[in-house]
């Protein structure tokens, strides 16, 4: 079945440590997105990529980095510069960005906590 796979499901970060969250899709989608969700809140966009080897900052990119070397993969690194990383992280994809009639497909998320 086609879909988006996020791993790990739970992740713990030590002070000063960088951690990387994995996102893989087999939907052949061009566009991929990373969102952050805090308790009781909606999702906020961290980074997005409209095509391989290209990505742009979203609304809350500080303290995060991404890469898009392959169409199916869009890993997110939470760096030590992100002082409040505890959140639920969601990866999504769509056929293309800028197409209003196409839905986004989401993974099941990674919950990141500070040790």
Identity of the residue, 17 or 28, whose beta carbon is nearer to other proteins in the bound complex: 28
Task: Give the separation between CA 21 and CA 19, rounded to whole angstroms.
Answer: 7
Cβ contact 36:91 at 8 Å: no
Alpha carbon distances (Å) from 38 to 48, 53, 85: 19, 29, 10
The span of 13-21, 61-69, 72-80, 95-103 binding other proteins (CB under 8 A) equals 95-103
Identity of the residue, 18 or 99, whose beta carbon is nearer to other proteins in the bound complex: 99
Q: How far is the CB of 58 from other proteins (least distance, A)?
A: 7
Which one among 18, 96, 113, 114 touches other proteins, defined by CB under 8 A?
96
Cβ contact 67:56 at 8 Å: no
Which one among 19, 31, 76, 112 touches other proteins, defined by CB under 8 A?
31
Task: Give the separation between CA 51 and CA 69, rounded to whole angstroms.
Answer: 10
Task: Give the separation between CA 110 and CA 97, rounded to whole angstroms.
Answer: 23
In sequence order, the β-bridge partners of residue 11 are 112
Q: How far is the CB of 54 from other proteins (least distance, A)?
A: 12
- The residues of the shown chain that bind other proteins, judged by CB under 8 A, are 4, 6, 31, 33, 35, 41-45, 48, 50, 56, 58-59, 88, 90, 92, 94, 96-101, 103-109, 111
């Amino acid at each position: 079945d086609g879909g988006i796979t996020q791993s790990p499901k739970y992740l713990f970060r030590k002070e000063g440590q960088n951690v990387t969250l994995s996102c893989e899709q087999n939907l052949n989608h061009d566009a991929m997105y990373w969102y952050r969700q805090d308790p009781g809140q909606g999702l906020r966009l961290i980074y997005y990529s409209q095509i391989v080897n290209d990505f742009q900052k979203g609304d809350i990119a500080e303290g995060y980095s991404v890469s898009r070397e392959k169409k199916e993969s869009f890993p997110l690194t939470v760096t030590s510069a992100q002082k409040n990383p505890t959140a639920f992280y969601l990866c999504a994809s769509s056929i293309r960005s800028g197409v209003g009639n196409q839905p986004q497909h989401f993974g099941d998320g990674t919950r990141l906590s500070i040790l």
